[in-house]
Structure 1
Amino acid sequence: MGKIQKRFEDQVIAIANAIANFPRDRNLLVASHIDADGITSAGIISTVLSDLHVPFHLTFFKQMLTDDVKAVVSKGYDSVLLMDFGTSHIEYLDRVAEEDLEVYIVDHHQPTLEYEPRHIFILNPYFHGLDGSREISTSGLAYLIAKKIGGYEHLLPIAIAGAIGDRQHEGGFHGLNRELLKYAVDSGLVNVVSEVNLFGGPKHPLLFALERTVDPYIPGITSDQSACFEFLTNIGIEPMKQGAWVTLRDLDERKKRILVSELVKRIASESGKASAARKLIGEIYYWNFEDDTSPIKDLRDFSTILNACGRMGYGGFGVALCMGYRGWYLAQALKVYQEYRQNISSAIKNILSNFKERVRVHNGLAFISGEDIIQDTMIGTITSILLGLKEFEQVEIAIGFSKVNNNFLKVSGRAKANTGLNLGKVMSEISVNLEGEGGGHRLAAGCTIPVKHKDKFIRELSARLSTR
C-alpha cells in the first residue's frame, strides 16, 4: 500500500480508530446504498462492529437525497456512518455535525461541490487525487478500515466483489484495486483464472448456468430455461447425461469450443459488435474458501446476487452472506435473484418489442421511457444492458426513466467510453436546476427530478451533448 498518499492513509487510520474505540452507550446508525458495492461495504463494517460488540442499526437507501439526509439526522442517533453515498451532502452534514452529531462518510463518488469539511470524518479517494470510479470502490475503503483495526484480511474477497459490482474490473483492475487483488491472490484468498463467464462456474449445471447468466446478458437465453434446453440440444450438447446434469467441466475441448462459438455468435449478432461477446471469456475471480459447488464461489456471481438482493429490497440477505451466513440466507438470496432475472428479461423484451414508443434516439442519445414497467431500483441495470444491444449500436449515452412516485422520476444514465462527457457532473448540474438532485461517476450516474421536468431534462442534456 505504499502508493497511498499519507493524508489518505491518515484518514483511513482516523476512521478505523474511531470505530475501534466507539462508545458502547452511543446510538449508531449505519446507512448504505442498495447496490453490490454498498451491500459489501455494509457487510464488512457490520462484521467489524459485531466483533467489537458495538450496537448499531443498519438501513439501506436507494439513493441519498436531501430529504433522506434530513430524515437520518432527525432520527435521534448520536452517530451516523454513511457508506457509498454522502459526499454530495457534506456541507449540510458538516453544519449538523458542528452541533452535536458525529458523522462519518465512506464514499467513492465524485464530489459535486468544492467544500472542505471541518466537523465530519470523510474518506473519499477523490479528495486525495485518486479516481473513485476506477481505482477503488467503497467496499475497498471499508476493507482498508477493517484491516487497520486488525484481523480482517479474510474480508478482502468481499471487497473485491463490491468493486466488481461497480464495474471496476472491466479492462483489468487499476490503482488500489490492483494492489488489493494482488494481495488477495498472494494470500491465497482469491484465485484468478481465464474461463467462460457463465453463472455458477464450471461445476454448475450448464442448463441452469445459461439460464441464470445476466452479465453478459444473453438475448433469448437469459431467464428462459426452455430456450436454454433447445439451444444446447441444437448444438449437440446434452443437458443431462446418465441421470446427472452436464456441467461446463464435463465438456471436452471440442464441445466447449462449439458452446463458446455459438454463444459468441448470438451475443455479437444481438449486440451488433464483437466486443460485447468478449465479455463471455475473461478473468474469473474465485473465492478460495467458498465450496466449489457454491453459487457464490465466483465473486462476479456473488456481486450479481448481492445487487439483486439490494435492488429487490432484500439488502439484509446480502449483508448476511457477507458476514458469513449461508443456508437459509443463501437460499432466500437465490430466490430473489431468480425474480430479479425475470424482471430484467421482461423489461428488456417490453422495451425492444415497443421500441418506437419507448425509445427516443437522437444524435447519439437514447431516452428510454420505463416509467410504467421498470422499478426505480432497477432502471440503472436495465439501461446498462440495453446500451450493449444492437438496437443501441449508434448510441453513446442511454438515459432511462422510471417512476419513484407520482411526483418524481428516477433518471439513470450510462455512457460508452470516450463520450467526452462527465455524466455524473452533468446530471448533477442539470438536476439541481430542475428542482432535483443527483450525481455519480463519469460513465454511470443518476438523479431524481420532478415528473413535470422530464422534457426540460431531455432538452438540456441533448444541448450539453451537442456542445461537447
Structure 2
Amino acid sequence: MAGPVPELEDRATRCATRLSDADRVLLASHIDADGLTSAAIAASALERAEIPFETVFEKQLDETAIADIAATDYETVLFTDFGSGQLDIIGEHEENGDFTPVIADHHQPADRETEYHLNPLLFGINGASELSGAGASYVLARALAEVWNGERRSTEETSAESEWMDPRSDGGIVTASGTNDARADNRDLAALAVVGAVGDMQASSGELHGANAKIVEEGVEAGVVETGTDLALYGKQTRPLPKLFEYATDVHIPGISNNEGGALRFLDGLDLDLKRDGEWRRWSGLSNDEKQTVASALVQRAVSKGVPASKIDQLVSTAYVLPAEPVGTELRDASEFSTLLNATARYERADVGLGVCLGDRGDALERARKLLRDHRRNLSNGIDLVTREGVTHEDHLQWFDAGDEIRETIVGIVAGMAMGNEGISRSKPILAFAEKNEDELKVSSRGTHNLVREGLDLSVVMGEASRAVGGDGGGHDVAAGATVPKGEESAFIERADEIVGEQLS
C-alpha cells in the first residue's frame, strides 16, 4: 500500500483485510466533526468495497452503548474516532465472542490489546496533533481500497472479460461508477480527513502537521484540497466583511475585535469598493490585490495598537479549501465545514451531518444550515452568560458552572470561545460544568496550543481528576472532557488544579 502514513501500513492492511472478509459490518462512530468525517470516510470505503454495513452513532461509548452493540447480530464492528479508550470493555465482549472489533481511533488506548487496532499512538505518532480520527479512518480507507483492488484484480485474471475496465481510461482501474483513480484508491476522501483534523483543533500554529500534512498532500494531488496562505480568521467564506473582523478575537486588535462600529470604520477607511448592491462583500469574493490591501491595513492597525509581533504573526495561517464546493459556502472552507458538522452533532442529528459528508446538497445541507443558525445563537447566548457571570479563578485554572443554562453538548465550545473575554484569561485552561442528567455532570475543558507547548495535557487532567471522584474522562491535550457525580465538583476542581500546576511548573 502506497498510503500516506508508512508507520501504519501493516496494521491498516490487516484491519482492511479483516473488514473485506466480513459478510457485513456495523460501523459505530462518535458524533463530533471528527467523528462524522471518520464515519463518512469509512462508509464510503466500505460501500466502494461492496461490504454491506449499517451505521450507528454514539455521543459517549460507555458500557451501556457497547452492550447494545454486542446485542446486535453483527460479527464485525468497526469503531471510528473512539474505541481505543474503551478497549477494556470492548475486549471483554470480544473474548465472549460477541463480535470482532476493528478500531480506527486516535485517543489514548486503554491498557489492553486487540488484533485489529489502528491508532497512531501505538506507532509513536501524536494523536492529538498529528493524526485525527478521520485521519486514521482515511489510512484504513486507503488500505481497504488496496485490498479490494487486489482481490478484484485477482478475480479479473481468471475472468475472460473484465467488467471493471473502462475503455476511456487507457486500461486504468476505475470503480463501478466509472470515476477516476483518486476515487478508486480513496484518495478523494482526503478532503473529509482534512475537515476532521481541522475540526479536531489539530491545526496548531496555523497549519496541519505530521501525518495530517501527508494526507493534505494526497488531497492536493487528488485535486480535492487546495492550500494557501491566508488570514487566520474564521468565516472567510460566509461572513460579511464587518462581521469577519468584529468576531476575529483569537488575535485581539483594539478598536476592531468585538467592536461593531470599529470594524465598520476600519473598512470604510480603506480606498476599496467593499460593497456590492449595498451589501458588504465577503473575503472569499475579494481579488488577491484587495485581500492584500485589507490585510496590510489590518497588520498596520495591530502594530499601531501595540499588539505583540508574535500575536500579529498569528493573523496569517494556512487555509484548507475544498475546490469542488461553491465559493462563499460553508463547505468550501475546512474550518467552516467542520463547524457545520459540529452543529448537527451537538443537537442529536448526526444523520444530517453524515448526509452532508456523503454529498447530500439538498435536504441534509438545508437542515444542517438551520441547525448551524440555531447553534450560533446558542453559542452567542452562552458566551454572553459566561462573560456576564464571570469565572472562578483557582491557582492554575479557571472554571464556571452553567447548570442547565447551556447544553452539555456545547458547553466546551462556549468555554473555548469565551477565553480572552473580560475577566477570562487565555493563560489558564478553563473548565466548564453542565448538567448531564439527574446524577451526573459533564465537565469540558479547553486550553491553548501555547499552554500545551508549556506542558499542559488536559486529557491527563480530566482523566485523573475525574477518576479520583468516581467519574471518568479523557480526550486530547488541548481539549478534553469528563463525567463526574453531582456533589463532587469541589474535589474534582481541587485535584484538577493540582495536576495543571504540576504540568505547568
- Aligned equivalents of 1:67, 1:265: Cα separation in 2: 55
Moved more, 69-78 or 290-299: 69-78
Give the secondary-structure state (helix, strand or coil) at the position aligned to 1:392: coil
TM-score computed with the length of structure 2 as normaliser: 0.79
CA contact (8 A) 1:194 1:283 kept: yes
Matched, 1:330 2:365: yes
CA positional deviation for 1:463: 2.5
CA contact (8 A) 1:440 1:446 kept: yes
CA contact (8 A) 2:84 2:107 kept: yes
- Aligned equivalents of 1:137, 1:285: Cα separation in 2: 16
What's the counterpart of residue 23 of structure 1?
Answer: 23
- Aligned equivalents of 2:218, 2:350: Cα separation in 1: 28
- Aligned equivalents of 1:220, 1:374: Cα separation in 2: 30
Q: What amino acid sits opposite 1:414 in the alignment?
A: R
TM-score computed with the length of structure 1 as normaliser: 0.85
Change (3 A) 1:125 1:203: closer
What's the counterpart of residue 103 of structure 1?
Answer: 101
Render the CA deviation track for 1:282-335: whole Å, top value 9, x for unaligned: 211111222334331111211121122212222222211211221222222121
CA contact (8 A) 1:238 1:246 kept: no
Moved more, 96-105 or 35-44: 96-105
- Aligned equivalents of 1:365, 1:433: Cα separation in 2: 18
What's the counterpart of residue 336 of structure 2?
Answer: 301
CA contact (8 A) 1:196 1:260 kept: no
Change (3 A) 1:131 1:252: closer
CA contact (8 A) 2:255 2:263 kept: no
What's the counterpart of residue 376 of structure 1?
Answer: 408
What are the residue-to-residue correspondences of 1:104-143 with 2, within 5 Å?
Answer: 104-111=102-109, 113-117=110-114, 121-143=116-138
Aligned length: 454
What's the counterpart of residue 190 of structure 2?
Answer: 156
What's the counterpart of residue 352 of structure 2?
Answer: 317
Consecutive unaligned residues of structure 2, counting only runs of 5 or more, are 146-183
Matched, 1:144 2:178: no
- Aligned equivalents of 2:362, 2:245: Cα separation in 1: 24
- Aligned equivalents of 2:6, 2:363: Cα separation in 1: 43
What's the counterpart of residue 156 of structure 2?
Answer: none
Q: What amino acid sits opposite 1:305 in the alignment?
A: L
- Aligned equivalents of 2:355, 2:255: Cα separation in 1: 33
CA contact (8 A) 1:400 1:411 kept: yes
CA positional deviation for 1:158: 0.7
Matched, 1:449 2:446: no
| Identity score, percent | 29
Q: Which has the larger radius of gyration?
A: 2
CA contact (8 A) 1:386 1:392 kept: yes
What are the residue-to-residue correspondences of 1:31-430 with 2, within 5 Å?
Answer: 31-100=28-97, 101-111=99-109, 113-117=110-114, 121-150=116-145, 151=184, 152-171=186-205, 172-198=207-233, 201=236, 205-206=240-241, 235=269, 240-242=275-277, 245-248=280-283, 249=286, 252=290, 256-257=294-295, 260-261=298-299, 279-355=314-390, 359-389=391-421, 391-393=423-425, 395-415=427-447, 416-430=451-465
- Aligned equivalents of 1:40, 1:216: Cα separation in 2: 29
CA positional deviation for 1:214: 9.2
Q: Root-mean-square deviation (CA), in Å? A: 3.4
CA positional deviation for 1:70: 2.7
CA positional deviation for 1:278: 5.2
Give the secondary-structure state (helix, strand or coil) at the position aligned to 2:85: helix
Matched, 1:465 2:500: yes
CA contact (8 A) 1:65 1:437 kept: no
Give the secondary-structure state (helix, strand or coil) at the position aligned to 2:92: helix
Render the CA deviation track for 1:119-144: whole Å, top value 9, x for unaligned: x5211111112111111111111111
CA contact (8 A) 1:223 1:345 kept: no
Consecutive unaligned residues of structure 1, counting only runs of 5 or more, are none
Q: What amino acid sits opposite 1:373 in the alignment?
A: E
Give the secondary-structure state (helix, strand or coil) at the position aligned to 2:321: strand
Give the secondary-structure state (helix, strand or coil) at the position aligned to 1:181: helix
